[in-house]
Amino acid sequence: MKSATRKNLSDKKPASGSKSTRASNALPVQSTLSRIHKPDDVTLEEWQRTLRRQFGEKQNFSVVNVGLHPLFSDFVLTNPQSGRTYKIAIRGAAPGLNYCSCPDYSINNLGTCKHIEFTLQKLRQEQGAEKQLTEGGYTPPYSEIYLSYGLKREIRFRPGLGASAEWVALAK
Ligand SMILES: [Zn+2]
């Protein structure tokens, strides 16, 4: 019979570093994706969007709502480090709905950027904002024709308040 003498606590490896106990108050559960290697279980676009979200959420941008609606509005974002300012339009949580005037946004085909992600994260802190942003129930006071920046760039129409039924049907 095999002796059981080795069955002890030895499968608990001693912590290799001297990092001490940071497990309990470490970062939130959401793990940080690698910037270098795409994880197998996400698409390239999702990975790149997540990187921008993770980066954006750590920034110290200042953002000012220059429109009329508390969420679905136009914003001016300033990066205090570079001094650069960008125009942002927020229309919902989904990629491609929003707009930013930065160079990354115009070429990355992701429909988002770190500035948009930063702004969305700020807005989500308001009560009920997440629901409104996600459900996309936004109706602008005026009809808009806009360019959707996804993998496929498309001109889209968003009917505003008072748009006739025909126009609303066109937007479907
Ligand atoms: Zn941007």
pLDDT digits (tens, 9 = 90+) for 110-137: 999 999 999 999 999 998 899 989 886 6
**Cα-to-centroid distance, 116 and ligand 1 (Å):** 6
Q: What's the pLDDT at 122?
A: 94
Ligand 1 centroid–CA 154 distance in Å is: 19
Ligand 1 centre to CA of 101 (Å) is: 6
Q: Which domain holds residue 121?
A: 40-137
Provide the number of structural domains found in the chain: 1
Give the separation between CA 96 and CA 48, rounded to whole angstroms. Answer: 14
**Within-domain flag for 154:** no
Specify if 82 maps to a domain: yes
Is 145 a domain residue? Answer: no
pTM of the predicted structure, to 2 decimals = 0.69
- Within a 13 Å sphere around the CA of 84, how many CA atoms are in the beta-carbon half? 9
Residue 67 lies in a domain: yes
Task: Give the number of other Cβ atoms within 10 Å of residue 100's Cβ.
Answer: 24
Cα(68)–Cα(3) distance, integer angstroms: 76
Report the separation in Å between the CA atom of 93 and the middle of ligand 1, taken as the mean of its atom positions. Answer: 15
111 Cα to the center of ligand 1, angstroms: 10
Please indicate, yes or no, if residue 21 is contained in any of the structural domains.
Answer: no
Dist CA 159 CA 143 (whole Å): 4
Residue 130 alpha carbon to ligand 1 centre in Å: 20
pLDDT, residue 154, reads 80
Quote the ligand 1 centre to 99 CA distance (angstroms).
8
Q: What was the pLDDT predicted at 29?
A: 45
Predicted local distance difference test score (pLDDT) of residue 39: 87
* Packing angle, helices 114-124 and 44-57, rounded to 10: 60
Cα-to-centroid distance, 25 and ligand 1 (Å): 32
pLDDT in tens, the chain (172 residues): 444 445 444 444 444 444 444 444 444 445 677 888 888 888 888 999 999 999 988 899 999 999 988 999 999 999 999 999 999 999 999 888 899 999 999 999 899 999 999 999 999 999 889 998 988 667 777 788 887 776 677 888 877 877 788 877 877 7
Could you list which residues have their CB under 5 Å from ion ligand 1? 100, 102, 105, 113, 115
